[in-house]
Amino acid sequence: MLAWLRKVNDKAAPPVPASQRSARERLLFSSALAVVRVSLLVSPRPAAMLARRVFAGNGKKIAESLEKHAPAGIAAVVDERYGDDPDMLLDVVRPADAAAPLPLFLWVHGGAFIGGSKDELLGYFKVIASHGYVVAAPRYSLAPEHHYPTPPRQLMRALEYLQENADRLGIDPSRIVLGGDSAGAHIAAQLGALATSPQYADAVGVASTVRGDQVRAVVLACGPFDMRLARDGSEIARPLVQLVLWAYSGKRDALRDPFYWTWSVVDNLSPAFPPALVTVGNADPLRAHSVRLVDALDAQGVETETVFFPDSYQPRLNHEYQFDLDSAEGQAFLERLLAFLRRRLA
């Protein structure tokens, strides 16, 4: 399923031609597509469970790769409960020798709203924490068992919990950055919008637990942000998009639900939205979302920084390229991220 996602057609990243795929790849590709299409005749659940298993398998590989880069001297609190729901657990990492309160960097993991895990990114969080930050990584409830807007509501509770326990966890709650990857980038962007637009918070029905002036910036990697793009894409892409929309919204035709359109972050920005660092690979199927988000932020007068790549850039950079710290591009984004945090949290 993840391999399929990376091969979905968009204007920037044409799929691998069938003639260039191995027989095994073609079989797996066709099988995954068939499972999704059959599933969507009755329910998103079977295909979502398949996707979740694939995400979990790839997540283990990501975790192993990132842990190689994790520095020593990091203290971690793992699976601390921040709310009553079973999924409301978070990890907190910080330099073990830190004496003063540190800025908070909250990161939301991806997984198409139906999978993924905070656990696979712990090595990445340790790298960031070593530069003088408390990094919090919440778990949240997944679709199709739970529907929008459950994750942003839970993560607002996580932010409230972290502030309530700021002294114990060594957090300076006046300096917060929100970040995320893939679906987590969407959720992080939505948190930023909820914190800076009372009208949007009312429309979504999720009250902000942080003030806009506390949220100094957002970091958004490879996310979806524009509901209009759900209507675009190739014939191959549409079943996956339909799966995610149905699973997360709880409705077969989510695009006809006026409330679900509050999901579309690009339509709910204000000039008060936090300064943003946005990145996406040149072969990412979600690339157009990041481009549209930056255009919408620019139109609101929001400060933005981007790490984008030309269409011709080689090697082609797929979804979540930034977590490959064995690559020059992954290291380059990490340096940009750390520089961005220094400026915004000084």
* Tens of pLDDT, residue by residue, the chain (346 residues): 333 333 333 333 333 333 444 676 566 556 666 666 667 767 999 999 988 999 999 999 999 999 999 999 999 999 999 999 999 999 999 999 999 999 999 999 999 999 999 999 999 999 999 999 999 999 999 999 999 999 999 999 999 999 999 999 999 999 999 999 999 999 999 999 999 999 999 999 999 999 999 999 999 999 999 999 998 765 556 788 999 999 999 999 999 999 999 999 999 999 999 999 999 999 999 999 999 999 999 999 999 999 999 999 999 999 999 999 999 999 999 999 999 999 999 8
DSSP 147-189: -TTHHHHHHHHHHHHHHHTHHHHTEEEEEEEEEEETHHHHHHH
pLDDT of residue 206: 98
Reported residue count of the chain is 346
Sign of the CA dihedral 340, 281, 58, 84?
Answer: positive
Residue keyed to tokens 């990490």: 334
Which two tokens mark 315?
């090697």
pLDDT of residue 346: 87
Determine the Cα–Cα distance for residues 223 and 246; give it in Å rounded to an integer. 18
> What CATH number was assigned to the domain covering residues 2-345?
3.40.50.1820
Nearest residue to 247 (alpha-carbon basis) of 102, 75, 112, 100: 112
Domain boundaries, the chain: 2-345
Q: CA-CA distances (angstroms) from residue 131 to 68, 169, 290? A: 17, 17, 27
pLDDT of residue 27: 63
pLDDT of residue 96: 97
Is residue 134 within 8 Å of residue 92, measured between CB atoms?
yes
Q: CA-CA distances (angstroms) from residue 209 to 86, 121, 248, 260, 340? A: 21, 25, 23, 22, 24
Q: CA-CA distances (angstroms) from residue 226 to 176, 296, 301, 314, 323? A: 25, 10, 18, 27, 23
pLDDT of residue 302: 98
Determine the Cα–Cα distance for residues 157 and 213; give it in Å rounded to an integer. 18
